[in-house]
Amino acid sequence: MHVDIRARRGRLSRNLEELLERRVWFALAKFGGRIRRISALLEDINGPRGGEDQRCRIKVSLVPSGSIIAEATSADVAAAVGRAAERVARRVRDALDRKRTMQTRPSVPTNGNEPVEEDL
């Protein structure tokens, strides 16, 4: 599973790229066959001013279609990556569960002999 990583303002260190790939892989590995593409964007919102300004946004494209996006902001980039990965994994799981539930919901056949409200 490959993660396309981009950074606004500057380049990412190799250690940060590896951290992000490892964290996203750990969170999404169980959905591997249902994921088409993963992209992540890291940005420092406030620049050098500090504060809770490290944002990580992760987008997961699903097979056959659909996308899930989650983001997190923290003072620490590793924490932002971890939270965003957890959030996107939870949203992917929920989306796939909803899709599975819709596909397995039993349909009730009607043959025209069911009682109508007036008959009851």
Distance CA 116, CA 93 (A): 40
pTM for this model (two decimals): 0.78
> Which tokens go with 98?
């909803």
Are 85 and 27 in contact by the 8 Å Cβ rule? The answer is yes
Question: Cα 114 to the chain's mean position, in Å?
Answer: 44
Percent of the chain exceeding pLDDT 90 equals: 42
- Say what the pLDDT of residue 88 is: 96
Q: What are the tens digits of pLDDT across the range 29-81?
A: 999 889 999 999 999 888 766 666 889 999 999 988 889 999 999 988 899 99
Cis peptide before 64 (omega within 30 of 0): yes
Query: Residue 61 has which token pair?
Result: 């494209």
Under CATH, which number does the domain 3-103 receive? 3.30.160.100
Q: How far is Cα 111 from Cα 42, in angstroms, rounded to an integer?
A: 57
Identify the band that residue 108 occupies on the pLDDT scale cut at 50, 70 and 90. Answer: low
Strand ranges in the chain using DSSP code E only, listed in sequence order: 3-7, 35-44, 54-62, 67-74
> Hey, where are the domains in the chain?
3-103
